[in-house]
Amino acid sequence: MTERAKTVKLMIFDVDGVMTDGGLYFSDSGEEMKAFNSLDGHGMKMLQNSGVKLAIITGRTSRLLEHRTRNLGIDYVYQGAHDKLASFQALIAKVGVTAEECGYMGDDVIDLPVMRRVAFAASVPAAPELVQQNAHYVTGRQGGHGAVREVCELIMASQGTLDAALAPYLQ
């Protein structure tokens, strides 16, 4: 799995169930709410600073996600992507990378077409068995509770950039 993660130049994340716990929360007025984990966010920033580009492909559309991705500095965001493979193909053409230079983290069957094409596919423990079987790595942490951070650190460790990313905090 670390050999696969070593080749990642573009890491793509699903949102619900990966960056969040998968719950859909609504206020009395019908406004959608999501909880994002700050550990995950910092892991994504460290991964990005290590030279890996980040992207989001999600089936849902949310203004909340626009705010979160802007805060994290993620330039490539595909929302309302019911055909994630088509979004993936458009994304890699735009970024100028191959599928073999990509990683993807998803948690449901809608993610399988992309997971089965990338060099490194990750998932979470709550994912259906079929999704876990098609992942190269299943996190120990649940989605929305540090799973993204775990994958970011795994990629950086495999690429030899984790120590440098953590060094400023150890001085």
Q: Residues marked as binding?
A: 14, 16, 107
Neighbouring residues of 104: CB distance < 8 A, sequence distance ≥ 6: 11, 12, 13, 14, 57, 88, 111, 114, 115, 118, 120, 121, 122
165: left (phi > 0), else alpha (psi -120 to 50), else beta?
alpha
Distance separating alpha carbons of residues 16 and 30, to the nearest angstrom: 18
Distance separating alpha carbons of residues 87 and 80, to the nearest angstrom: 10
Report the binding-site residues for Mg(2+).
14, 107
Neighbouring residues of 27: CB distance < 8 A, sequence distance ≥ 6: 33
Report the binding-site residues for substrate.
16
Give 142: exposed, middle or buried? Use CB within 10 Å, 0-12, 13-18, 19+.
Answer: middle
